[in-house]
Amino acid sequence: MKFIKMHCIACSDDAPHATESELRDFLELHPKWHVLEIEAGKKIQRLFTFYSYQECLDFTVKVGELAEIEDHHPDLYIQWGKVTVTWWTHRIQGLHQNDLIMAAKTEALSL
């Protein structure tokens, strides 16, 4: 499945979580992402590295602009030379297909 070609859909409180099959397919295509198992549910996260703080800021702005377009927003943690991006859907306390779509699109921004 080409997550990068998909778009986010509106998510309700009873929206389905991403299936194990969807998650497995995503991780096969995007192996630098990893799954976090937390009390509230699953999240996916990736650390992006850059050569300067300015590059980190520029990347973060691109991710923010993408998030606004798709109306789905990540947790971002910026350090010198590093940006950690975490996707999950607060409304369902776990992973939705939207998170996989956005993670794929986030990865494309770093290329």
- Number of domains making up the chain: 1
Q: Is the pTM of this model over 0.85?
A: yes
Any domain includes 5: no
DSSP state of 18: P
> Could you tell me the CATH number of the domain that includes residue 64?
3.30.1360.20
Domain span at residue 52 reads: 18-109
DSSP state of 78: E
Please, what sign has the CA dihedral across residues 62, 86, 95, 26?
positive
Any domain includes 1: no
Any domain includes 3: no
Average pLDDT over residues 91-107: 95
- What the block records as the tokens of 12 is 């309700």
Any domain includes 25: yes
Any domain includes 6: no
Query: Which range has the top average pLDDT, 4-13, 24-33, 35-44?
Result: 24-33
CA-wise closest residue to 100 among 38, 22, 48: 22
